Amino acid sequence: MSNNNENSRANNTDSAVSALISSISNTVNNEKISAIINVTNVMADAIFIVNADGVFESVNPVAARFFNVTSDSLIGKKWQDCLQEQYRDDYKYMFESWKNNYQTPLNHGPKEVKIRKNNGNCLDVELSISCLPESVVASTPLFICIMHDISKHVKKYKVLENVARLDHLTGIANRCTLEKTIIKNWQECIVNKQPLSFILIDIDYFKLFNDNFGHVKGDKCLQKVARTIEECLPSKDSLVARYGGEEFAVVLPRSHISNAQMIAKRIQEKILNINFRDLGLPANVKISVSQGLACEYNNQYRTSEALICAADTALYRAKSEGRNKLCIR
């Protein structure tokens, strides 16, 4: 049975090669292109051949699996249509530009792109495109395209990126991400003459919480506070980060002091209402936070560091005045 299947596949491959040779017999050296296609059909890489108009002329079995279709169903179609939309125009432009300067061999990549599979899903691949030599083709050029599946590498990279970007305990941004974000937002607010508000938040008497209930529940408390603050953010480009220990920071682009004050008060109220019964603690266990708020507008501060220092000064005042309050610098 296995031999019959192998013979069937071999016959189908031979038929596909013959059909291709017949369809482009006027533009290629038959023996050489036949040899190339036969080699690509047994290679482990995903390989397809397109003409100068970007039309599929040959698709090996591995490439067909990448696209989740049969090889025959792609022949005669534009290969750029199999790219995710954001990449199509670049490759169409590349082929059109090459036509205006066809004496220069086209060699492009490897480049990371996403292709669209027939089931609607996308696949991350590394794509390289090269002209087939003139000794193989005649009057009309052909291009050999090679794809490597890099989806596993992309997933691993995203995991590592998150490790580098996020605080491992709370899952929100870490100190490094905060510093990069506030520098970027600072530059934008200066150029666009828009406000930038910054809040520093400290959990009151958190050491006492740890001493009374243990560090495991203390970690759970930090996670609850992080989620609560995150729920209060007004937009996607706002950021909450763990500043250190039991301290958190909030970056609010385009938020005037009055708007930032409302957000800070909302954070204050929601944290006061955090319930710890799911941790096995009594219903009367509550926590509060002290907050320091500063806002850059009209060059009030010379640097982003000065803005952070201003919020830190306001936080210190809130703690020294009895805690569980918001102070504005």
Catalytic residue among 246, 247, 269, 296: 246
C-alpha angle 86-173-303 in degrees, rounded to nearest 5: 95
User: CA-CA-CA-CA torsion for 226, 232, 236, 238, nearest 10 degrees?
Assistant: -80
3-state SS record for 78-132: EHHHHECHHHHHHHHHHHHHHHCCCCCCCEEEEEEEEEECCCCCEEEEEEEEEEC
246: annotated active-site residue: yes
Contacts of 95 (CB under 8 A, 6+ apart): 52, 53, 54, 80
Contacts of 108 (CB under 8 A, 6+ apart): 94, 128, 129, 130
* Alpha-carbon distances, residue 137 vs 75, 101, 141, 320 (angstroms): 18, 17, 6, 81
302 DSSP assignment: S
- Distance from C-alpha of 262 to C-alpha of 308, rounded to nearest angstrom: 19
Length of the chain: 329
Strand partners for 147: 46, 127
Nearest to 91 by CA among 125, 43, 62: 125
Specify the residue for token string 């709370």.
170
Tracing tokens 């031979």 back to the chain, one arrives at 14
Active site residue ranges? 246
